[in-house]
Amino acid sequence: MSDLYLGLDASTQSLSAIIIDLDTRKVVYDISLNYDEILPHYGTKNGVLDHPDPQIVHSPPLMWAEALDVLFDKMRTEGITLGNIRAISGSGQQHGSVYLKTADTLSNLNPSKTLVENLSGIFSRDTSPIWMDSSTRAECDEICDVLGGLQSTASATGSTTFERFTGPQIRKFYKTQPDAYNNTAHIMLVSSFMASLIAGKVAPIDHGDGAGMNLMDIQTRIWHAAARDATAPDLSHRLPSLAESRTIIGNVNPYFVDKYGVNPNAQALVWSGDNPNSVIGLGLIREGLVAISLGTSDTYFGTMKNCQTDPRGEGHVFVSPTGDYMTLICFKNGSLAREAVRKSHGLDWDGFSQALQSTPPGNDGKIMLPYFEPEIVPNVLKPCVHRFDLDEQDTAGNCRAVVEAQMMSMRIHSEWMGVRPSAIYVTGGASVNPEILQVMADVQNCPIYQFEVTNSAALGAALRAAHAHLNTSGQNTTWENISKGIAEPISGSVVNPTKTAVYDELIKKFAECEQIALGK
Ligand code: XUL
């Protein structure tokens, strides 16, 4: 019987599981359970609770726990051989936090009861602020000021303070609900909360997810004392330890053995955030490998050996599960902007592609800054589309301008990493469009590969479980071995750069236009 590895992913909208058989390099089980559908009694919409203030976005932590019961029950009834699971790890939406009065119950869960029954009364805060919450501007400024401003906060913790990051969220909780804060014994991340349930004890926070808190020293990977003190009093004994993401916490909680037949010797690993897990699920295991996800917003993430932080404070540095560093840069005007241009010129996607084909690389110097929505990178608060040497009615020119702008912006705003990509793996809806990929290849001057993944975070978690298990059972293995044949781009999918010189020139003009648009 094959050894199996389980990767779970507690994301914003769903709990997913991927089981891999490393011998055959195959995903043997892949499921995603949508919280709104399977657990409607929590009243969430897209996994979050309704709130009159749109800046406040919370989810119920008990829902995530209940979803674990539903998932394991489903796996058991579907005949998955949970007895063959050798190791379990997981992925959580980053930044969200869970507040517990006590963790004593975790090691003593009664399998004849549900997780909800077992966990009743342990939370000091019934709802968890998640990454979509943006209600902590004041706390961000307070912490950032104590740490000496944007640049020094970024070099201390990997990112300047962001509303969704855990430190500012903890500070707001302490300021607005001091009694509940005092009543809190343990503060966990979504990832470490789920790992604690699986392991039956308080799980460490891994360096990858810890870097999304504005609380961890990004160089030494221990809690940053000044950041901690700037966040809330007596925080040190409320936070768990920090650990490498390959750390095995112990064997799986007997609750899952007795109730669902999980292998009693299955190792429970620390969990990490969804982005660090995706780095593994996409095979970004060497410096210079970059992934670009072309989704509602476009994200750029890649690995780097040395820790470089962004002096402009726009990008984030997390720790990769390989022990290297990784970056994440989020551009809000992704599909949003491409679609706005397409629709305003009455085109379908074929028409959009034809427009790209009919225009030359470099667009004869026509430039757009496509801030259809407020932009994260660069920081633009008021939406405004700027055009330089570009007529608003010029259909083909506008189509090319929006795509070139996105690709040039990614190149300019990732320069601080000091690592030029050697290959880019592209995912997300727009990654099927060869004309968009050609612009990407030309602007970045490197080959682009398509990647067919549905859940790179859960896959990354399963691969992390396999890596840790093999390396602790005397079968030393490398990340290259682990990802071979399973976390690789679609073979033959390469788009090579053809016209690059034009962009080395145009990018200078684009940078100037950006400065003008930003009023600098
Ligand atoms: C990263 C971020 C999101 C969440 C949810 O900084 O906020 O990607 O991890 O997916």
C-alpha–C-alpha distance, residues 421 and 411, integer Å: 10
**Ligand 1: does its nearest atom lie under 6 Å from the Cβ of 93?**
yes
Which segments of 258-383 are extended strands (E)? 267-269, 272-273, 289-294, 298-304, 316-319, 325-331, 367-371
Alpha carbon of 451 to ligand 1 centroid (Å)? 20
CA–CA separation, 139 vs 45, rounded Å?
A: 27
Position 517, amino acid: A
Q: What are phi and psi of 243, to 5 degrees?
A: -150, 160
- Provide the 10 A C-beta neighbour count for residue 185: 15
User: Which mutation among 95, 282, 314, 377 tests ligand 1's pocket best, with the greatest number of atoms within 8 A of CB?
Assistant: 95
* Radius of gyration of the chain, Cα coordinates, nearest whole angstrom: 23
Q: Is the CB of 209 under 6 A from ligand 1?
A: no
What does the pLDDT look like over 158-207, one tens digit per residue? 999 999 999 999 999 999 999 999 999 999 999 999 999 999 999 999 99
Q: What is the pLDDT of residue 341?
A: 98
Residue nearest (by alpha carbon) to ligand 1 atom 3: 94
Tell me how long the chain is: 520
Nearest to 15 by CA among 257, 200, 271: 271
- Nearest CA to 330 out of 437, 414, 416 is that of 414
H/E run at residue 281: helix 274-281
Ligand 1 centroid distance, CA of 56 (Å)? 16
What does the pLDDT read at residue 183? 98
| Cα–ligand 1 centroid distance for 130 (angstroms) | 9
At 391 the pLDDT is: 98
Ligand 1, atom 10, lies closest to the CA of: 93
Pocket perturbation via mutation, ligand 1, pick of 213, 275, 377 by most ligand atoms within 8 A of CB: 275
Q: Is the CB of 299 under 6 A from ligand 1?
A: no
Q: Evaluate the CA torsion angle 136, 141, 146, 147 in order and state its sign.
A: positive
How far is the centre of ligand 1, averaged over its atoms, from the C-alpha of 96 (Å)?
Answer: 9
Q: Which atom of ligand 1 is nearest to the CA of 273?
A: 9
**Ligand 1 centre distance from Cα of residue 94 (Å):** 5
The torsion angles phi and psi of 134, rounded to 5 degrees, stand at: -130, 35
Task: Say if residue 61 is exposed, middle or buried (CB neighbours under 10 Å; 0-12, 13-18, 19+).
Answer: buried
Nearest residue by C-alpha to atom 1 in ligand 1: 94
Mean pLDDT of the chain: 96
- Contact of 307 with 326, CB cutoff 8 Å: no
79-128 per-position pLDDT tens digit: 999 999 999 999 999 999 999 999 999 999 999 999 999 999 999 999 99
pLDDT tier for residue 297 given thresholds of 50, 70 and 90:
confident
Q: Which amino acid is at 310?
A: D
Q: Using CA atoms, how far apart are residues 275 and 264, in angstroms rounded to an integer? A: 29
Distance separating alpha carbons of residues 376 and 380, to the nearest angstrom: 7
The reported pLDDT for the residue numbered 381 is 83
Q: In this structure, which residue's CA is closest to atom 9 in ligand 1?
A: 94
Tell me the pLDDT tens digit for each residue of 476-494.
Answer: 999 999 999 999 999 889 9
Q: Residue 336: which pLDDT band, with cuts at 50, 70 and 90?
A: confident
Instruction: Give the pLDDT mean for 352-369.
Output: 98
Model confidence, pTM: 0.94
Residue 429 has pLDDT above 90, yes or no: no
Give the integer Cα–Cα distance in Å for 236 and 234: 6
Pocket lining: 95 vs ligand 1, CB cutoff 6 Å? yes
Using the atom order of ligand 1, give the atom closest to the CA of residue 131.
Answer: 7
Whether pLDDT at 1 is above 80:
no
The two tokens of residue 8 are: 């779970």
Whether 232 contacts 177, CB under 8 Å: no
**Contact at 8 Å (CB) between 326 and 319?**
yes
- Per the CATH hierarchy, to which homologous superfamily does domain 4-277 belong? ATPase, nucleotide binding domain (3.30.420.40)
Instruction: Say how many Å lie between the CA of residue 492 and the centre of ligand 1.
Output: 31
Q: For residue 106, what pLDDT is reported? A: 98
Structure tokens, 301: 């993430």
> Strand pairing partners for 8?
17, 90
Given a cut of 80, whether residue 280 has pLDDT beyond it is yes
Which residues belong to CATH 3.30.420.40 in the chain? 4-277, 283-452+490-520
Q: Decide: 433 and 407 in contact? Cβ < 8 Å.
A: no
Q: 320 alpha carbon to ligand 1 midpoint, in Å?
A: 15
Which among 59, 133, 136, 164 is the best mutation to test ligand 1's pocket, defined by most ligand atoms within 8 Å of the CB? 164
Q: Which residue's alpha carbon is at the smallest distance from atom 7 of ligand 1?
A: 131
93 alpha carbon – ligand 1 mean position (Å): 6
- The answer to whether 240 touches 203, Cβ cutoff 8 Å, is yes
Please say whether the beta carbons of 194 and 98 come within 8 A: no
d(CA 83, CA 410): 46
Is the four-CA dihedral 320, 323, 324, 325 of positive or negative sign?
A: positive
21 lines ligand 1 (CB under 6 A): no
Atom of ligand 1 nearest to the CA of 164: 7
Is 413 touching ligand 1 by the criterion CB < 6 Å? no
Any ligand 1 atom below 6 A from CB of 352: no
Structure confidence at residue 471 as a pLDDT band (50, 70, 90): very high
Residues contacting 323, CB < 8 A, separation 6+: 244
Q: What is the secondary structure of 65-115 as a DSSP string?
A: HHHHHHHHHHHHHTT--GGGEEEEEEEE-SS-EEEES--GGGGG--TTS-H
Q: What pairs with residue 330 in β-bridges?
A: 299
Tell me how far the alpha carbon of residue 319 lies from the centroid of ligand 1, in angstroms.
14
φ, ψ of residue 356 in degrees (nearest 5): -65, -40
In the DSSP assignment, the letter for residue 380 is B
Please give the backbone phi and psi of residue 383, each rounded to the nearest 5 degrees, phi first: -60, 135
CB of 275 within 6 A of ligand 1: the answer is: yes
* Per-residue pLDDT, 234: 98
**451 close to ligand 1 (CB < 6 Angstrom):** no
Per-residue pLDDT tens over the stretch 30-89: 999 999 999 999 999 999 999 999 899 999 999 999 999 999 999 999 999 999 999 999
Nearest residue to 85 (alpha-carbon basis) of 93, 96, 73, 75: 75
Query: Given pLDDT bands bounded at 50, 70 and 90, which one contains residue 12?
Result: very high
Tell me whether strands 128-129 and 298-304 are parallel, antiparallel or unpaired: unpaired
So what CATH class is 283-452+490-520?
alpha beta
pLDDT digit string, tens, across residues 346-359: 999 999 999 999 99
* Cα 423 to ligand 1 centre (Å): 23
At 362, the amino acid letter reads G
How many whole angstroms from 275 Cα to the centroid of ligand 1?
7
| CB 131 less than 6 A from any atom of ligand 1 | yes
CB 273 less than 6 A from any atom of ligand 1: yes
**Index of the ligand 1 atom closest to the CA of residue 274:** 9
pLDDT at 414 over 80: yes
Q: What is the mean pLDDT of residues 383-394?
A: 97
